[in-house]
Amino acid sequence: MNSLPPAPTRPRSQALQQRAERFFPGGVNSPVRAFGAVGGAPPFVERAEGAWLIDADGNRYIDYFGSWGPMILGHAFPPVVEAIERAARNSASFGASTAAEADLAERVTVCFPAIEKMRFVSSGTEATMSAIRLARAATGRKIIVKFEGCYHGHADGLLVKAGSGVATFGIPGSAGVPEEIARLTLALPYNDLTAVEAAFAAHPGAIAAVILEPVVGNAGCIAPAPGYLAGLRAVTQREGALLIADEVMTGFRVALGGALELYGVDADLVTLGKIVGGGLPVGVFGGKRAFMDLLAPLGPVYQAGTLSGNPLAMAAGIATVGYLQTHAAEVYPQLEATAKAVTEGVAAEADHAGVPLTLNRVGSMWTWFFTAGPVTDYAQAARSDTAAFGRFHRAMLEQGVWLPPSQFEAAFLSTAHGAQEVATTIDAAKNYFSAVE
């Protein structure tokens, strides 16, 4: 049996964590950062460059979560940094309209034809919350259908069987969400059209919208079954409900036009985030003009945000999306090839060691599930060996490879990841799997 290399020392990170616990619940401002699902102490990041994170103790790590998705071009990508610096010289915020808002919106509509009009907000949670309010207003109905393991932000009605951090911490929903609100959300198994048909039959004329991640990323990466998205589109059109594609994670990631482009489907409303802000806090909800024109000041649906369309975020988004548009022919094949090499290389090492592992991947997002069977919905993902994933995560981190700290979070890479990062990651996995044989 081989032994793993010694773990890096992180005394400064440990001291920073102890200080943080005085101010923040669990010492963090987002629960999954606490490493509660995988064990060990989280490093405190001081800076990042390209595919690498550098912690407060000077240790370097290959980054496979990329700020949870937006860093598709790598950290501190020079055109993005320069765009933010230029914008900051004019002030960080105005609370008034700027030309940059329409500049970014124009790029978004070119990539997402389903978005005829949009609103910028400051987070994915705001985007999905607003899209649902709009869907209820447009249909005059109250019930929302979502899918088990899909996370759409922490708005009250969306924390029902929500995957992501909720799944990581074993929380069935969330304390503080009134039952009256939770009852307006139907959580169905993903990839099961029969369940959707049954829900519409049981609630005739009452379902306002179906919202989903077209590729699940918050129960780990789970792809739609062939025909599933088209089936949802057909059912919602027949029943007069709206289809909301939550592409906060997949937008610009799985294709330039997101999952809607990749799978050739349409949606009434679309939410975006992550990449569209180039790493800064941005969300988007948009869709068909007839629905979007229901928003104030044109219509009766109120939605607002003081920092919506923030000039720094617009600048970062224009630089990022603009680069992806200009270099799409190079970027997406590169991401596909790099992701294929690293994911299949690690899976091969697990197979050689006799460790049950299921690889789910769509483009440059993926999950290694520690289970032998296929994973096509949240119930199957939940049967994974989360303790085994925790051991794997800790061992990889000790060798300088930082994976998402939960079995139920998708991994991502960037154009900055190359042959060196792939080889280092596969070698680290080989060391681990050899040690546990």
* Cβ 431 vs Cβ 5: under 8 Å: yes
- Cβ(218)–Cβ(164) below 8 Å: yes
Rounded distance, CA 132 to CA 211, Å?
Answer: 8
Cβ within 8 Å of residue 253, ≥6 positions away? 69, 72, 274, 275, 363, 364, 365, 412
Catalytic residue (one of 63, 161, 268, 274): 274
Cα 79 to Cα 331, 333, 432: the distances in Å are 15, 21, 38
Q: Which helix (H) or strand (E) holds 48?
A: strand 45-49
For residue 50, the 8-state DSSP code is: B
Q: How many helices (H) and strands (E) does the chain have?
A: 15, 14
Cα end-to-end span (Å), the chain: 7
Q: Has 64 been annotated as catalytic? A: no
Instruction: List % helix, strand, coil for the chain (3-state, nearest 5).
Output: 40, 15, 40
Which of the residues 55, 63, 64, 151 is marked catalytic? 151
Amino acid present at 361: R
Quote the radius of gyration of the chain (alpha carbons, Å).
Answer: 21
Residues 6+ apart with CB under 8 A from 288: 114, 116, 268, 269
The distance of Cα 60 from the centroid of its chain, to the nearest Å, equals: 24
Do the Cβ atoms of 211 and 152 come closer than 8 Å?
A: yes
- Catalytic member of 55, 63, 246, 268: 246
Instruction: In whole angstroms, give the CA distance from residue 62 to residue 50.
Output: 9
Structure tokens at 98: 């700027």
The question of whether 274 is a catalytic residue gets the answer: yes
The burial of 226, by beta-carbon neighbours within 10 Å (0-12 exposed, 13-18 middle, 19 or more buried), is given as exposed
- The Cα 218–Cα 248 span in angstroms is 11
Element (H, E) at 209: strand 207-212
Active-site residue set: 151, 246, 274
